[in-house]
Amino acid sequence: MLYEIPQSSRDVPGLEDYLRAIRERWQIIALLAIVGTVLALLFANTREDVFESEAKVVINPTIVNSTNTNLVSPRLEREREVMQSVAVIEQALVSAGIPKTPAAVVEDLEVTFVNNSDTLAVAYQSTDASEAAVVANEIAAAYVARREAASIAVYESEISSLEAQAAALDESLGEISTELGAAQADRLAATARAFDDPARQGLIEAATESISALTARRNSVTNDLGQINRDLRESQRALTSRAVTAEVIQAAESDDAPVGLGRNLLLAAGFILGALAGAALAFTLDRLDRTAKGATEIESALGANVLGSVPSFGIGNRRSGVVMLSNAKNSKMQRARESYRRLRASLSFLQSAENKKSFIITSARPGEGKSVTAANVAVAAAQAGSRVALVSADLRRPMIEKLLNIRAEVGLADHLRDPTITGIVQAVPDVNGLVVVPSGPLPHNPGELLASPRFGNLVNQLRDQFDTVIIDMPPVLATADAGAVAPSVDGVLVVVDGQSTDTNELMRVRASLERAGANIVGAVLNRDSSDSGVSLRKDRYAYERVAGQR
Cα separation, 495 vs 309, in Å, equals 10
Question: What is the rounded average pLDDT of the residues 202-230?
Answer: 89
Q: Print the SS3 string covering 280-331.
A: HHHHHHHHCCCECCCHHHHHHHHCCCEEEEECCCCCCHHHCCCHHHCCCCCH
Q: Which range (61-75, 90-104, 277-291, 441-455) has the least confidence?
A: 61-75
For residues 351 and 430, the answer to whether their CB atoms sit within 8 Å is no
Q: With bands split at pLDDT 50, 70 and 90, how would you rate the model's confidence at 204?
A: confident
Q: Is 342 helix (H, G, I), strand (E, B) or coil?
A: helix
Helix (H) / strand (E) containing 56: strand 51-59
Beta bridge partners of residue 472, listed in sequence order? 361, 392
* pLDDT tops 70 at residue 505: yes
Residue of 264, 278, 337, 334 lying closest to 25 (CA atoms): 278
* pLDDT tops 70 at residue 437: yes
Please give the pLDDT value at position 429: 86
Calculate the CA 257 to chain-centre distance: 38
Helices (H), 384-452: 400-404, 412-417, 446-451
* pLDDT tops 70 at residue 147: yes
| pTM of structure | 0.49
Q: How many helices (H) and strands (E) does the chain have?
A: 17, 12
Compute the mean pLDDT over every residue in the chain, rounded to the nearest whole number.
84
* pLDDT tops 70 at residue 58: yes
Question: What is the rounded average pLDDT of the residues 401-428?
Answer: 88
* pLDDT tops 80 at residue 177: yes
Q: Classify strands 468-472 and 358-363 as parallel, antiparallel or unpaired.
A: parallel
Question: What is the rounded average pLDDT of the residues 496-515?
Answer: 90
For residues 36 and 298, the answer to whether their CB atoms sit within 8 Å is no
Please give the pLDDT value at position 139: 92
Tell me how far apart the terminal alpha carbons of the chain are, to the nearest angstrom: 43
* pLDDT tops 80 at residue 548: no
Please give the pLDDT value at position 1: 33
Question: What is the rounded average pLDDT of the residues 369-373?
Answer: 93
Question: What is the rounded average pLDDT of the residues 28-45?
Answer: 89
Please give the pLDDT value at position 8: 40
Percent above pLDDT 70 for the chain:
90
Q: With bands split at pLDDT 50, 70 and 90, how would you rate the model's confidence at 259?
A: confident
Q: With bands split at pLDDT 50, 70 and 90, how would you rate the model's confidence at 339?
A: very high
DSSP state of 115: T
Please give the pLDDT value at position 538: 40
Helices (H), 47-128: 76-83, 86-96, 102-107
Q: With bands split at pLDDT 50, 70 and 90, how would you rate the model's confidence at 129?
A: confident
* pLDDT tops 80 at residue 317: no
Please give the pLDDT value at position 3: 38
Percent above pLDDT 90 for the chain:
38
* pLDDT tops 90 at residue 461: yes
Please give the pLDDT value at position 529: 59
Please give the pLDDT value at position 7: 40
Please give the pLDDT value at position 33: 92
* Choice between 548 and 414, residue whose per-residue pLDDT is larger: 414
Q: Which range (237-241, 320-324, 396-400) has the least confidence?
A: 320-324
- Rounded to 5°, angle at Cα 205 from 201 and 210: 150
Q: Which range (42-56, 169-183, 391-405, 526-540) has the least confidence?
A: 526-540
Question: What is the rounded average pLDDT of the residues 530-537?
Answer: 42
Please give the pLDDT value at position 4: 40
Cα separation, 56 vs 113, in Å, equals 10
Q: Is 136 helix (H, G, I), strand (E, B) or coil?
A: helix
Rg (CA), the chain: 45
* pLDDT tops 70 at residue 118: yes
Q: With bands split at pLDDT 50, 70 and 90, how would you rate the model's confidence at 540?
A: very low
* pLDDT tops 60 at residue 225: yes
CA–CA distances in Å: residue 537 to residues 320, 396, 404: 12, 22, 22
Please give the pLDDT value at position 64: 75
* pLDDT tops 80 at residue 212: yes
